[in-house]
Structure 1
Amino acid sequence: MRTVYPLVRYRDAGKAVDWLVRAFGFEVHELVNAPDGGVRHGELVVGTGMIMTGTGEPGGPGIYVVVDDPDAHHARAVAAGAEITAELSDKDSRPYFVL
């Protein structure tokens, strides 16, 4: 099971997904469109790796982390000065947080 996923935002994530598939051989694992036509959430795989993406303003790198004790990891990250961009929640019965 993967435990760390880079998050990449693009102004036009649909075009970026198409390009990543053509240029680097990524395969679309999941693609959820937003009502405005953008990409709400995308998961692309290549080899054993996966990135997640969506439409939005490009910014610094984001990291999606799957852990057994998210409360402890969250507290540690906050204490170290991390900017938490999405609060703790459970997805697919796996606790996670996003830095």
Structure 2
Amino acid sequence: MSIPTITPGIVYHNAPTAIEWLGRAFGFQERTVIPGDNDTILHAHLTPGNGGVMLRSAEACPFPHLCKSPRELGAWAEIIVYVADPDSHRQHAVAARAEIVTPIEDKP
């Protein structure tokens, strides 16, 4: 497995549920999950193929004034995953209740 040169980090409220859903909807595999107190996640590393994403519970952040979810900031985050069969992947994600906000399109 090659190591990606960049790995995004995301803050979630209810991170255990997010980890389960990302696996079910998009096939992310748990590489590392370090639980915290009160059903929080101190650190998690999930991999879709040879990429990765780090995540943690907003409630377990050591710097609460810095750890805000995109929803709290009035923003959004985007993670792009390359897959062999985008149409099947989209159908699987929609079945897991993913909200598709842009259409699939071929790009060079």
Structure with more of its chain in helix, by fraction: 2
User: What's 1:33 paired with?
Assistant: 35
- From the two aligned structures, give the one with the greater strand fraction: 1
Q: How many residues align?
A: 62
Which amino acid in 1 is paired with 2:14?
A: D
Tell me the secondary structure at the aligned position of residue 8 of structure 2. strand
Unaligned runs of 5+ in 2: 59-67, 78-108
For 2:23, which of 9, 13, 21 is the aligned residue? 21
- Provide the aligned C-alpha RMSD in A: 1.9
- For the 8 Å contact 1:8–1:61, the answer to whether it is kept is no
Letter in 2 for 1:53: L
Mapping 1:1-99, distance limit 5 Å = 1-56=3-58, 57-59=68-70
CA distance in 2, matches of 1:14, 1:37: 7
Change (3 A) 1:61 1:8: farther
Aligned sequence identity (%): 27
In structure 2, relative to structure 1, the CA distance for the partners of 1:12 and 1:40 (3 Å cut) is: same
User: How many Å separate the matches in 2 of 1:5 and 1:32?
Assistant: 17
Normalization by structure 2: what TM-score? 0.52
1:49 partner SS: coil
Rounded to whole Å, the distance in 1 between the matches of 2:28 and 2:48 is: 5
